[in-house]
Each structure stands twice: as C-alpha cells, then as structure tokens.
Amino acid sequence: MSGKVVCVTGASGYIGSWLVKLLLQRGYTVRATVRDINDSKKTKHLFELDGANERLKLFKAENMEDRSFDAAVDGCDGVFHVASPVVFSVKDPQTEIIDPAVKGTLNVLGSCSKFSSIKRVVVTSSMAAVVYNKNPRSPDVVVDETWFSDPTVCKDTQNWYALSKILAEKAAWDFAKEKEIDLVVMNPGLVIGPLLQPNLNSSSAIILNLLNGSPPNENITFNWITVQDVAEAHILAYEVPSASGRYCLVERREHYSKIVKVLHELYPEYPIPQRWADENPFPPYQVSKEKTQKLGVNFTPIEKPKIGLNLLFALIHRSHVPINLLIWRGKLGLVFSLGSQ
C-alpha cells in the first residue's frame, strides 16, 4: 500500500498513535488530525516515528466543528476515525461525551461524503457498543458481531461511555447507508500495551496503579486486547477488499485478577497484589474471534512477557514510573533491551 494517502483522526491518542506508527511502517502517507497542531507535548512523539518527517502531516480538527475535517480528508484514499472522548466520570453526559462522540462521527463522515477519492472509512467503536444488554450470560454464551448494546440498559446504569459509543456507531451506520459510504466498524475491548503518547490513558493507568501497589477493588471481568493488535486490525479492515460490517477485537475475556497474576509473574519485585479482593468473579462469557481472524488478525496473548515489559518501558520513558526505582531493583537493563525491540 506504499504511496496511498490516508487520514487518522485523534492521531495523538493511544490507539491513534499506534495506528499512525504502523501505517508509516507500511509506506502510507498519513494525514493526522489533532486538536492543536502547535501543542508539541501532544504531537512530538508522532514526529519521532520512522517515516514521519517525509510522510506525516498534521491537521487541526475539532469533533464539534462542522467541516472541520474537510481539509484533512480531501484527496485521501481511506479514513480512520479514531477520535472520540474516553470519559467515565462526567457531570453532564450529553455535553461532555455523547454529543462529541456522535457529532464528531457525523462530521468526519460528512467530510468523507464530499470526496470521491475515499474508498473506505474505518470507525473505532467499542465492545461497549456490543455487550451491554439483557441477553443471558454464561460460560457457553458466545458474543459476536450480531450483538448490540441496549441504550436503555446504559441509561438505567448511567454507563454514559457505552451509551456514547452505541449512539455514535448507530449514527455512523445510518449516515453511511444514506450516503453510500463503504464503512467498517471496529469494536475493541479494553486495550492494553505500550504507550507512544506522553499522557497516561485510562487502561494504562490501571496497570500503573497495580505496579504501585494499589489494591484491586472491583470484581470485574474485561475483554482484553493489545494496542498493537487493535491498530493492525484497523489497517486490515481498510486493506482487505472483503472486509465489511463490524469486528469484535478481543484476545480473551478474563477477570481483572488474571492481569494481576500476569503482572505479578512479570514483576515479582513490585508491590503488586497477589490475591484478588473478591475471589468469586462473575461467570465469564466468550467473544467470537472467527470473523476477526478471517480478516487476518493474529492475536497476541496478553501475558506475553514482551508486551508487559514494553509497557513498563513506556511508563518509564514517559516518567510515569521513576527510573531510580528500576535501577534499585536491577531491572532497567532488561526493560530497555526488550522495550527497544
């Protein structure tokens, strides 16, 4: 795909940064949208990526501004819409998270509908738009792309993030049908793995809190996947001609305590809890990998040591974990040697 021009919205974020990185590695020219092109703290890491000086250009764009994405997508072959608020504690859910998610999606698609060069749009949704409904759950239940979350359930439980993803995805499908846009939607679970961006995202904060010895306090089960797999899946959704519809991106569904165990095995010197506060987790269900694997995604096991060490390396590099703590524990050489791979 060398020479193709694509746009990535929300490029300075967790998934967006990895998507830009992998696209540049593949030889794409990337037009990346950010909220402030002059904020070097949020964009410097993008220009440190291989190929960025030659094939990366930043564009200012705001989710809530009409025609804000026109310049960025004009002339592109494909568009990846990743930008969307990830907020879990809000005072005004409609203003803070729902409107930006829905209007941002419609603004991007509206811009895409103006330019015939765009062959496909890939939108980042979430498993939150899949699993929140009243369907029965048990270990033999398999969730797949035919499942949709129920807005009423999310309103009743005040799960505003899930509601924003549900409404944004529905708006995307309705608009794409009306304007005959070739749309593919990705539904990742909880994304973990190394950071490229300087700020700490919510899923990495979970890992950092455990490294710092914070006791687990929730009896919860997550759909886990690595950030590299998420970015790779987005690119395949654009590149594979037969890609269509939705894709559940989940390497496995595990109780939070599984991550605690994995981290403890990788970093035994850290004050990571060895026991879970609640040893009676909710019954797990399964998430189908069939469609995503047919797309060509080879899932990375979440306990793979290199994944954990690369995350730790990133936390050190971005000053979220003090280096002197690592030196004292004799880990720094190992972390840097593996983290640089």
Percentage of residues of the chain with pLDDT beyond 70: 74
Q: Which helix (H) or strand (E) holds 301?
A: none
Phi, psi dihedrals of residue 154, rounded to the nearest 5°:
-70, -40
What average pLDDT does the chain have?
A: 83
- Residue 198: inside a domain: no
| pLDDT tens-digit readout, 191-209 | 887 888 766 566 655 666 6
Report the interhelical angle of 14-25 vs 227-239 (nearest 10°): 60
- Greater confidence, 206 or 277? 206
- Is residue 319 a part of any domain in this protein? no
Q: Is the Cβ–Cβ distance between 167 and 151 less than 8 Å?
A: yes
Placement of tokens 């909710």 in the chain: 282
327 domain residue, yes or no = no
pLDDT at 166 over 70: yes
Q: What CATH number should be reported for the domain holding residue 21? A: 3.40.50.720
Residue 337 counted as domain residue? no
DSSP H helices, 180-304, are 202-211, 227-239, 256-266, 290-295
DSSP single-letter state for residue 94: I
- Tallying the residues shown for the chain, one arrives at 341
CA 95/CA 222 separation, integer angstroms: 27
Q: Which of 38-42, 153-157, 234-238, 270-274 has the highest mean pLDDT?
A: 234-238
Asked if residue 16 has pLDDT above 70, the reply is: yes
309 assigned to some structural domain: no
Residue 193's region, left for phi above 0, alpha for psi from -120 to 50, else beta, is left
pLDDT in tens, 17-67: 999 999 999 999 999 999 999 988 889 999 999 999 999 999 999 999 999
Phi and psi dihedrals of 325, rounded to 5?
Answer: -65, -40
Whether pLDDT at 118 is above 60: yes
Classify residue 182: in a domain, yes or no. Answer: yes
CA-to-CA distance for 193 and 310, rounded, in angstroms?
7
Residue 280 has pLDDT above 90, yes or no: no
End-to-end CA distance of the chain: 24
- Give 304's contacts (C-beta < 8 A, 6+ positions apart): none
- Range of the structural domain that residue 129 is part of: 5-192+225-255+284-301
Please report how the helices 202-211 and 256-266 are oriented relative to each other, as an axis angle in degrees rounded to 10: 50
Whether 332 is in a domain gets the answer no
- pLDDT the model gives residue 83: 87
Orientation of helix 202-211 relative to helix 305-317, angle to 10°: 90
Residue 336 has pLDDT above 60, yes or no: no
Indicate whether 101 belongs to any domain: yes
Please say if the pLDDT value at position 333 is more than 60. Answer: no
Overall number of domains in the chain: 1
